[in-house]
Structure 1
Amino acid sequence: MFEPYGFSHGIVAVVFVAVSALLLVFRTAWTSRVLAVVIVAVQMPFQIHTMLPGQWDIAYSLPLQLCDLALIAAVCALWTHSPAATALTYYWGLTLTAQALLTPAYRGPDFPDWQFLMFWGIHLFTMWAAVHLTWGAGIRPDWHGYRLTLAATAVWAVVMLMFNALAHANYGFLNAKPGGSVLDLFGPWPLYLVVAALLLAGVWALITAPFTRAAARSSR
């Protein structure tokens, strides 16, 4: 079984840093679309597998986690360089998705099981896309993207709270904490949702401000 902060977790962290560095060094006109194709080719079979009769469970098989949606946004952003999709990839990818690397909720089989590869593929590919789009392709976050991401996240949270209640699921950990995550610091339900929302809004503002200030200085 996978153990947080164990050997395989350390290898994942090293792979993340190494590939991120390569994406920053080898920046070409076709890198974005190649990465988009690789993500689809690698992750699509895993997603299909989770929806087969032997694996299907409404509580986890649907791609409704915010990390799943972030990966979809990442593919769209890589292929089109859409500012909206890039904003979602940046904010979701470098904060929420990154939590998997810092405090992984995964407790399944270790490498090379397909569940291990799917879990880490979703998270690493999204973070790599965010790194490439922001510092490789040079698509910087701005306050419009910040507001769009806040609105999209709020809509997703409301919809998923209702879906979770109907399906007896816990997508996004909105109805219960996973345990062993940063959410443990934020109090019981529903207080931890309010604290997390306020913290996200603040952190996203902090990682937007340096880019907008730099853009304002360059325009002057």
Structure 2
Amino acid sequence: MSWFSYQNEGPIFELFGLSHLFIFILLILICLAIVLKARTVSGFPQIEKGLRYSLVILLVGLEVSYHFWLLLHREWSITYALPLHLSSVTLITAVLMLVFGKQRLFEFTFFAGVGSATLTLITPDIGGYDFPHYRYFHFFLSHAFVIVSVVYMIAVKKYKVTFRSVFPNWLWLNAYAALVFVVNLLVNGNYMYLMRKPPGPSPFDWFGPWPYYIFVLQLVALVLFIVMYGIYRMLVREKRV
């Protein structure tokens, strides 16, 4: 089996199997390391900048390598390969957040990025690719390191989330979804799974058939954002804003 091949000729991915659980363990350990060493890192500006830009290089490299992989196997198509899925666009906002440090980018990446990445890591649509295939590493690392980037900004750079930011970011997410819906019509795509559900098991299965699940997901997203803020308040003790 070729590690970089397009066809899945190796092990078949198993939900909550060893290779799946390994990602959660790795993610937790990295986030804990960032939190525990946050004060030390923030005290050395050159080290802090180096770590932050290392995350940028990793995220950009993961996204670029995926398009290279599709092009190499002549599978790139405007129908499904544009970086329009929420995981792709929040990877981009994570990179911009790390480079420019804008509060609005941080807030959107916190809510939309961490929320979608967490759900995707729990129920991955990975096409059966498992360790040690390239797609296994790309899929899980590109989602996990969006979460890592947000944890880094909170722990090291001391960025904060307020309850007032919940609703505006929910509106931004809906505005983006409306734009993507139009793009789907133009290119016959299914970005953000707005035209049909993912082929494998996913949270979309809980919310009824198309198009009803789209409206249910709007409410679920708002509730998820509020829950995420509540978890943030419990984990990051700060003066209420």
Could you tell me the TM-score, scaled by structure 2's length? 0.80
Q: Does 1:76 align with 2:87?
A: no
Percent of aligned positions that are identical: 24
Go from structure 1 to structure 2 and tell me whether the alpha carbon gap of 1:177 and 1:80 turns closer, same or farther (over 3 Å shift): same
Match of 2:31 among 15, 20, 30: 20
Report how far residue 49 of structure 1 moved.
3.0
User: Do 1:23 and 1:136's aligned partners in 2 also have CA atoms closer than 8 Å?
Assistant: yes
Work out the CA distance in 2 between the residues paired with 1:52 and 1:60. Answer: 16
Uncovered stretches (5+) of structure 1, i.e. residues with no partner: none
Partner AA of 1:161 in structure 2: F
Report how far residue 112 of structure 1 moved.
2.2
Aligned Cα root-mean-square deviation (Å) = 2.3
Work out the CA distance in 2 between the residues paired with 1:191 and 1:81. Answer: 37
User: Do 1:3 and 1:107's aligned partners in 2 also have CA atoms closer than 8 Å?
Assistant: no
| Map 1:1-220 → 2, pairs under 5 A | 1-27=12-38, 28-29=41-42, 30=48, 31-52=51-72, 54-178=74-198, 179-208=200-229, 211=233, 214-216=238-240
User: Do 2:67 and 2:76's aligned partners in 1 also have CA atoms closer than 8 Å?
Assistant: no
Go from structure 1 to structure 2 and tell me whether the alpha carbon gap of 1:89 and 1:111 turns closer, same or farther (over 3 Å shift): same
SS, match of residue 239 in structure 2: helix
Partner AA of 1:208 in structure 2: Y
Instruction: Count residues in correspondence.
Output: 217
Go from structure 1 to structure 2 and tell me whether the alpha carbon gap of 1:139 and 1:198 turns closer, same or farther (over 3 Å shift): same
Work out the CA distance in 2 between the residues paired with 1:180 and 1:4. Answer: 10
Uncovered stretches (5+) of structure 2, i.e. residues with no partner: 1-11, 43-47
Could you tell me the TM-score, scaled by structure 1's length? 0.87
Go from structure 1 to structure 2 and tell me whether the alpha carbon gap of 1:207 and 1:12 turns closer, same or farther (over 3 Å shift): closer
Partner AA of 2:134 in structure 1: W
SS, match of residue 22 in structure 1: helix
